[in-house]
Amino acid sequence: MATIREIKNRMKAVGNIKRITRTMQMIATAKFAAAQTRATAAKPYTEGVFALVQELAATAGDIDHPLISGPSGDISGKPELVLILTSDRGLCGPYNGGILRKAMKHLNALPVSAETELVGKKGVAYLKFQGSPANRTHTHFGDNPRREEIEHLAQEYMDRFSAGEVSAVRVAYMRYESAGKQTPEILQLLPLKPPTETGESDEKTGPSPLYEFSPESGELLAELLPETVRTTLAQCFSDAIVSEHVARMIAMKSATDAAGKMGKTLTRQFNRARQAQITTELTEIISGAAALE
């Protein structure tokens, strides 16, 4: 059985850990609230751009754009580029593990070796252990990446795809659905999937409104397609950041609760050890007094 001093030292250490994890939980909660506000505020704009692109595509007829159909040359043998969004810091539960497992499953299923780019520091060691280190690592985005940095990265991907250097661009990230559900996902960023005519929208929403576009829909579409890529990538970053804060908040709450339970267990052990010591001392005193008589 552990001594009273050992138990007291453990109780002190567990108390310190509990204070640290509670503080980290409060910080993650505050960051989650701010990140969720940004992510939910950007979603209507992203959805609006997609809706406008669909409307323009339906008006323009056959769509022939490098971001949809790809470059004119043969790119069948070109590698696919996969961007993996992980965190810079740990203590966020299964967040990084879920994304990396999803990404590795996709990479292993590809017939041609892909180019991998990594955002965050936590995926570097994992990819090295798997024998497929990232071709490029981005460590400058942080918890609050600037829109200009994301747009610069999106423009670089569009230039490379249009030039025929890569056959496709996909993003592995944690999609935020709600505070209780986040799902690892592989999103196809390029080529953009052209809208499909299903005829279901007329049954659900009635007749579509007629628009008159100026300039022509094809010219507008050429401007909106790059904007769609930029907003989609920005939304991926926003969802990833919100999901990271949620995962850290839940992990720190679990750690705080576990520390509280351990503290109660150590308190009981301390009381039992102290009672046993007091009983032993009383027995020795009584036995000594009896021996003197």
Minimum mean pLDDT range among 22-36, 79-93, 206-220, 270-284: 206-220
pLDDT tens sequence across 44-57: 888 787 777 777 76
* pLDDT confidence bin for 251, thresholds 50/70/90: very high
**231 in Cβ contact with 39 (< 8 Å):** no
Q: What is the largest CA-CA distance in the chain?
A: 115
**DSSP class of residue 113?**
P
d(CA 266, CA 157): 56
Tell me the C-alpha distance between 86 and 173, whole Å: 7
Helix (H) or strand (E) holding 215: none
pLDDT of res. 201: 41
61-88 pLDDT tens trace: 566 677 777 776 666 678 899 999 999 8
Q: Quick: pLDDT tens for 82-114.
A: 999 999 888 888 899 999 999 999 998 888 888
**pTM of the model as a whole:** 0.80
Token couple for 28: 């993650």
In this structure, what token pair is assigned to residue 187? 């999103």
Cβ burial, residue 133 (10 Å; 0-12/13-18/19+): middle
Determine the pLDDT at residue 16. Answer: 94
Can you list the domains of the chain with their CATH numbers?
63-194+211-245 (3.40.1380.10)
